[in-house]
Structure formats: structure tokens, C-alpha cells
A = this chain, B = another copy of it.
Amino acid sequence: MKAFHEYKNPSLAVDLVVFGYHNNTLSVLLLNRKDEPYKDQWTLPGGFLQMEETLRDTCERILYTKLGMNKVFLEQLYTFDEPERDPRGRVIAVGHYALINPSKFQIVAGTMANDVKWFNVKHLPALGFDHKHIFQVALQRLRSKILYYPVGFELLDELFTITELHELYECILETKLDRRNFRRKILDAAYIINTGTKREGLKNRHPELYRFNKQLKKNSFHINTPEDE
């Protein structure tokens, strides 16, 4: 056996799938790279771990310095280790996904990228590295997670209507959900709390505003999709 310090180590990076929801569209944030490899191509934001950081620290640093975001929902996804995934050498990437409310942040390209843009998840450009794959794993995770865990609030404003929540679910799951059954299930689960206020200034009936119930017990609900059958 080799001594501890004799092992060569791959580089360790994080890659981030940052989801945002806006105008009834689920989007993902991509960077246009300024440098090789994959210069001028779109990729997920990412970066190398520094020795004193946790993986979460690295993600938060990237979110903050490259994108100007902080205090967002962030979860580890999977570790991607294909030996050829990065042409510069052996890089192992711990994929994460974040859920953010785009209206809260002004995204900035920083010095690292030509451009930073939101892309509709249904119409992504070609991605560098294995980022298409990482994105697909993230989208799948988000879809399964939203069925049993109240994760949608991260994507909405603090106050929202049931219709807005309903549209978010339909958008993420790419399926129709019965409006009345959705409402009943969400309310029965005590998943959201009626604030007693209404959204004003719309041309139709003013819908009631709700907020997330942070005291929610885990596992108290499950949304079914038509594909469950």
C-alpha cells in the first residue's frame, strides 16, 4: 500500500444546475465560456473546490461571485467521474442543483464568461463537457422531488396564489393536473397557509395569496402524475 500522501488525486469541481421559474417557464442558467476548453460554448456554471471549502461552500461561492446569488436552495445531486469528461485532465465533478427565484437577483456575467443567460429547459443549446447529462439528472431529480417534497416555494415569490403553484407543477412535470384536485391535495396537506390577503390589480376575480407552511411535517403528501399508471 502506498503512503497516504503518495496518491495522485484528480481535480475536484462542482457543477451547478441552477433552475429558475419565470413567465410560466422553467429555465436553467448557462454560461458562455470565455476560455478553452469549450470556448464560446454554453456550459453549466462550475468551479474547483478550494482546500478549505466544503462542496457547499464552493457552490455558494460560485453562485455569489459568478451570479450574484445568495441563500438559495441547494442540494447535492451526484458525482460525475467519467475519466474523459474534461479535456484538461482528470476532473471529478460533484453535481448540485439550485432553485432560485429569478426576480430576486440581477444576474451578472462576471469576468469569467462572455455571457450568462436563462434558457428554457425545453430548448437548450448544445452544452460542453458532460453538462447535458448533469442537467438531465438534475431535471429528473427535481421532477421526482416535487412530487413528495414542497420544493416549489423556492421558485416562487413569498406570497403566491394556488393557480401560480399549480402552473409551476404543470410546467415542471410537463403534464396537466386537475385544478380542483390539486387545490384540495395541497390544502389538505397543510402545505400552504392562507394569508387572508388577495392579489390586487388583476382584471378578473382577485385570487387569495398563500405562503409556504414551514412547520410542514415531512411525508404528509404525495402528488400523482398520470404517468404513474
Q: Which residues of B contact A83 (CB under 8 A)?
A: 52, 54
Complex formed: what's the CA distance from A39 to B152 in Å? Answer: 47
Task: Determine if A11 and B7 form an interchain contact, defined as CB atoms under 8 angstroms apart.
Answer: yes
Q: How far is the CB of A143 from chain B (nearest CB, A)?
A: 13
Task: Determine if A82 and B54 form an interchain contact, defined as CB atoms under 8 angstroms apart.
Answer: yes
Q: Which residues of B contact A94 (CB under 8 A)?
A: 79, 81
Q: Within 8 Å of chain B (Cβ to Cβ): is A49?
A: yes
A49 and B79 contact, Cβ closer than 8 Å, known pairs A1-B112, A89-B4, A112-B1: no
Q: Within 8 Å of chain B (Cβ to Cβ): is A61?
A: no
Q: Which residues of B contact A228 (CB under 8 A)?
A: 219
Q: Which residues of B contact A48 (CB under 8 A)?
A: 7
Top 6 nearest A-B pairs (CB, nearest first) are A9-B9, A55-B81, A7-B48, A79-B79, A4-B88, A8-B51
Q: Within 8 Å of chain B (Cβ to Cβ): is A78?
A: yes
Best-buried of A51, A81, A94 by chain B (most CB within 10 Å): A81
Q: Which residues of B contact A54 (CB under 8 A)?
A: 81-83
Q: Which residues of B contact A7 (CB under 8 A)?
A: 11, 48, 50
Residues of A within 8 A of B (CB): 1, 4-5, 7-12, 48-52, 54-55, 76, 78-79, 81-83, 88-90, 92, 94, 112, 219, 228
- Which residue in B5, B10, B49 is a CB contact (below 8 Å) of A51? B10
Q: Which residues of B contact A4 (CB under 8 A)?
A: 11, 88-89
Q: How far is the CB of A185 from chain B (nearest CB, A)?
A: 15
A79 and B76 contact, Cβ closer than 8 Å, known pairs A7-B11, A10-B51: yes
Task: Determine if A51 and B82 form an interchain contact, defined as CB atoms under 8 angstroms apart.
Answer: no
Q: How far is the CB of A34 from chain B (nearest CB, A)?
A: 10
Provide a sorted-by-A list of 19 A–B residue pairs whose CB atoms are within 8 angstroms: A4-B88, A7-B50, A8-B50, A9-B9, A9-B11, A9-B49, A10-B12, A10-B49, A10-B51, A12-B92, A51-B90, A54-B82, A54-B83, A55-B79, A55-B81, A55-B92, A76-B78, A81-B94, A219-B228
